[in-house]
Amino acid sequence: MFFEVQALPEKPAGIWYNSAMKKVISFDLDGTLVDARYGDMVWNHGIPDEYAKAYGMTFDDALKLIRAQYESVGDGDILWYEIEHWLKRFSLEIEANELLDRYASYIRLMPDAAEVLRELYGRYTLVIASNAARIFVEKELAHTGVAGLFTHIVSATTDYGMIKKEEGFFRRLCADIGVTSGEMVHVGDHPVFDHDVPSELGIESYHINGHDADVEERRTISGLKDLLEVL
C-alpha cells in the first residue's frame, strides 16, 4: 500500500525555529515511523513459512526453531539484521527481495507520522538512522512515500557496518551531516540504542514508549505527536 504525502512545503532558507538551536532530528524507522508489523511478518512468518515448506515440518515447529536461532545471536550482533545471512544459514532458496515484496502490504506509517514529519520539515533537517538493513529501509520508505522528507537516510548495519549500540555510529552520523551532537535530536523506540547511547554523546534523545511515560530517567514520549510539544 502506498501512502501519498502531499506536496512538500518549501524550506525557508537558513531559519531554525528551535530556541536551543537544534538543527537535525534523527529518527529510527521500524517501530518509530513505520509499523513494526512489516518486519515481524518477514522475520517471524515469511522465513519460518519457507523453512517449514523446505524441510517438511509444521509452521509452529519451524517458528520455534528459527526464533531460537535468532535469539542465539541477539539484536546486539550485526548478523541479527542481515536477512541474506539468515536465508543462507537456513539454506532457503527464496531471494530476499521476493520475500520482502510478499509482505509489502503490511508497510504502514505509525499514527501521526506523516503529520509530524510534515510539521517538522522545513524547520529541521530530517534524518533516518535505522539498524535495519538498507533493503528494508528502502522498501519501507518507497511504500510510505516519505523518503523525500529526509536529507540523509542511513542504515547503520549496511552503510556503516555497525549497530546503534555503538557511540561511534552517532559520532559518524553527526560528522557526515556536519553538526555537533548538541545540534541533534534523536527519536526511537529502543531504550538503549535510541536513547541511552546517543544521550551519552549529548544528543537530546527521546524514547517512544506508549505504555509508560516515565521509564527510569529517560526522556520518554508516548507517541510521535508528543515530539511537537517537547521540541
| Distance of alpha carbon 213 from alpha carbon 103, whole angstroms | 32
> Structure pTM?
0.87
Superfamily of the domain at 24-35+109-230: HAD superfamily/HAD-like (3.40.50.1000)
Q: Cell 529501509 sits at which residue?
A: 137
Each of the 231 residues of the chain gets a pLDDT tens digit; together they read: 333 444 444 443 333 334 458 999 999 999 999 999 999 999 999 999 999 999 999 999 999 999 999 999 999 999 999 999 999 999 999 999 999 999 999 999 999 999 999 999 989 999 999 999 999 999 999 999 999 999 999 999 999 999 999 999 999 999 999 999 999 999 999 999 999 999 999 999 999 986 554 556 789 999 999 999 998
Residue with cell 557526515: 176
Q: Where are the domains of the chain?
A: 24-35+109-230, 37-105
Residue reference for cell 555537533? 180
